[in-house]
Chains A and B, each alone.
Chain A
Amino acid sequence: MRRTTLWSREKRSAGTAAAARLTSPAGRLIVLSLAVLWTVPTFGVFVSSFRPEADVKGTGWWTWFLDPNLTLDNYRRVLSSSPGEDNMLFFVANSFRITIPSVFFSIVIAAFASYALTWMRFRGRDWIFVGIVALLMVPLQMALIPMLQVFTGGAHIGSVRIIPDLDLTGTMPGIWIAHTAFGLPICIYILRSFMTTLPGDIVEAARIDGANHLAIFWRIILPLSAPAIASLGIFQFMWIWNDYLVALIFVGRENAPVTAQLATVTGTRGQSWHLLTAAGMVSMILPIAVFLGLQRYFVRGLLAGSVKG
């Protein structure tokens, strides 16, 4: 099956070695120092998170190599749900509760829409697609204030109420709706780009055999789109997991994700600032694991989805 350049750019290695066959010593030095520079800040927090409180506060993490004391105390405390502790596990669970449905809904809805925009013939199809893609340009800041107003007070034109007060502020469905709406343009863009590369003959043949669109969508297009959906899913997952702004506005303390909790802790930890190391690592462990484990899919999704607004 032939794929578009969009999804296989990394495989088209015509100029791979050609572009920089002989890396000069200076070039090698630049790259190595960048790699070190890029690693050191995270590594420092990682090491610090396993050091005893007195060590973290008294000496830089680099002295750990001379005086290697290890402890899990910091993690024990940030994961503890006792009053006054960070209770990170609870907020990690919240992140899952926010992220999984948001990713799921945006992909399901985008899959239906992309199918219609790729394989159905109707008037205005291209205009609808262009319109949706144009919305990629809208920064989500543009949508936050009115959306919050609708969530807290409904909407009306004049005195006619068109949307009732659903009281969605601070609730999970509220943030699912927000993330789904904000993520749809990019999901549709990516999925449609992929679907247009699938061979049209299969769809034609199925049509002639009398299959309706639902059957073609479910039996043929969805299975063939699995790689694109996987990449997109990972991409959306990371984006929503790492989101801070949307969560800050749409969910309160009770439902806050781990990013918001980390930010709160940063501002309020005071004397126990050494705990931030462990709290930070807890908030990052999943994205880092996803990145390292599913790098190939992730990079692919990134190449296709880097236009996210």
Chain B
Amino acid sequence: MSDLLRDAVLMIAVAALLVAVTVALVKATELIPRRFRESATAAIFLFPAIIAVVGGLLIPALRTIFLSLYDDTGTSFVGLDNYAEIATNNNKRLSVLNSFLWVGVGSVLTLAIGLSVARFADGMKRESAIKSAIFLPGAISLVGAGVIWSFVYAGPPIDIGLLNSVTDVIPGLPASVGGDGDRLWLLERGFGGADPPSAAPGFNSLLLIVIFVWTQAGLAMVLLSAAIKGVPRELIEAARVDGASERQVFWRIVVPAVRPTIAAVLTLTTVAGLKAFDIVSVTTGGNFGTSTIANEFFVTRFVQGRNGLGSALAVLIFALVVPVVLLNQRQERTHQVETGR
């Protein structure tokens, strides 16, 4: 309790100081010539924000790029060696492939589910209850999501796992897909007799991606259903009058009209997928071939203490995020030009 109180006092003191300094400085601008006053006031208003983003994001990001070109002690320049290690080290390469799987499967599945709910739930009985149910996982932490799904995927010695209980009662299911009801879902990489080579993502990675989709689908649904509601009614009515079926209206009118939102959803899930850390860390810790770039970043830097290689992994995440975001922006602009909206 005393900690809470101390922090509250500290917070209020800092905020009061910030406001007091701002007020005093703005008052002081009355002493300088009128034509400089506006710029000076703007500088005062912007100062804390600029310090925070330059000092807390821009410079650190540049320094991470710099560190990624040095060895782990940060003393000798090694060029692209750290990146070469990511490409050649089996674990690191597998984590990159896993991340691609997260992005590819994760974003497409999220989009498909978000779009289905956005399309079909409208006008259904208990529409808002259904939407809340889909969205709820998006409100809880990824750590919490990992814990919840650990109970679904649990295997021996814990024998109350939901998935095992389901596959157990399905008659005729071969043991290779969990038919005997005691599969270790998050540990076993093979599935249905197919055994992926150790350099390739395993089936257990797909199960982790399911958790990810579970947390992301609500956001996709909210964005898509807002966009669908924004499609001009005249367009849809006109298509109906012309004899288009509901399915045609959806695929030919609604989907093209919400294309920017579809792209935004894909972009958001791609970026989120590239940063996937919490789910992996809390379920498998990146073991059993399930590591992702973001998990590898954490382990490499904060468990193994390797600055150079860790920085290179961070830069890799950044390098993969940027083109996706820029591509999304470009297509949004083209769409605006095309539709005049």
Binding site for B on A (CB under 8 A): 5, 9-10, 12-24, 27-28, 30-32, 34-35, 38-42, 44-45, 48, 56-62, 93, 96-97, 100-101, 104-105, 108-110, 112-113, 115-117, 120-123, 125, 128, 132, 135-139, 141-147, 150, 172-173, 176-178, 180-182, 184-185, 188, 212-214, 217, 238, 241-245, 248-249, 259-260, 262-263, 266-267, 273, 276-277, 279-280, 283-284, 287-288, 290-292, 295, 298-299, 302-303, 306-307, 309
Contact = CB atoms under 8 A, between A and B. Distances in A.
A242 B141 contact: yes
B53 A184 contact: yes
A245 B246 CA distance: 45
B229 A242 contact: no
Contacts of A295: 132
A128 B237 CA distance: 44
Interface string B257-287: 0000000100010010011011001100100
B85 interface: no
B73 to A, nearest CB: 13
A173 B85 CA distance: 36
Contact of A108 (B15, B46, B124, B282): B15
Interface string B301-327: 110000100110111011001100100
Contacts, number: 351
Contacts of A172: 7, 10
Interface in B27-55: 38-39, 41-43, 45-46, 48-50, 52-53, 55
A38 B134 contact: yes
Contacts of B285: 267
Interface residues of B, number: 116
Given A142-B64, A146-B60, 18 more contacts: A9-B226, A19-B119, A19-B228, A24-B246, A34-B116, A42-B140, A101-B10, A112-B46, A139-B275, A145-B310, A184-B56, A185-B57, A188-B49, A245-B298, A279-B147, A280-B144, A298-B139, A306-B264
A277 B151 contact: yes
A116 to B, nearest CB: 4
A145 B52 contact: no
A244 B295 CA distance: 12
Interface stretch (B76-84, B98-106, B158-166, B196-204): B158-166
B223 interface: yes
Nearest to A295: B132
Interface of B: 1, 3-4, 7-8, 10-11, 14-15, 18-19, 22-23, 26, 38-39, 41-43, 45-46, 48-50, 52-53, 55-61, 63-64, 67, 113, 116-117, 119-124, 129-130, 132-137, 139-144, 146-152, 158, 160, 162, 165, 214, 217, 219, 222-223, 226-233, 235-237, 246, 249-250, 254, 264, 268, 271, 274-275, 277-278, 281-282, 285, 294, 297-298, 301-302, 307, 310-311, 313-315, 317-318, 321-322, 325
Contacts of B294: 141
A120 B56 contact: no
Contact of A61 (B55, B160, B277, B314): B160
A142 B223 contact: no
Nearest to A94: B3
Contacts of B63: 145-146
Contacts of A10: 226, 229
Contact of A143 (B46, B61, B246, B298): B61
A19 to B, nearest CB: 5
Nearest to A17: B123
Given A123-B39, A185-B57, A101 B230 contact: no
A38 B42 contact: no
A109 B281 contact: no
Contact of B229 (A15, A173, A260): A15
Nearest to A137: B325
A18 B234 CA distance: 10
Given A101-B11, A137-B322, A143-B56, A266 B142 contact: no
A206 B50 CA distance: 27
B39 A122 contact: yes
Given A139-B318, A143-B56, A143-B61, A244 B7 contact: no
Q: Looking at B41, B116, B235, which has the most chain A CB atoms within 10 Å of its CB?
A: B41
Nearest to B158: A273
B277 A104 contact: no
A267 B158 CA distance: 15
A59 B321 contact: no
A112 B22 contact: yes
Contacts of A137: 318, 321-322, 325
Given A31-B121, A263-B281, A97 B223 contact: no
B141 A284 contact: yes
Contacts of A18: 231, 233, 236-237
25 contacts: A15-B230, A15-B235, A20-B119, A23-B123, A34-B113, A34-B116, A35-B129, A42-B137, A60-B160, A60-B165, A105-B11, A109-B48, A116-B46, A139-B274, A142-B57, A145-B64, A146-B60, A176-B11, A180-B56, A212-B26, A242-B142, A248-B302, A259-B143, A283-B143, A303-B226
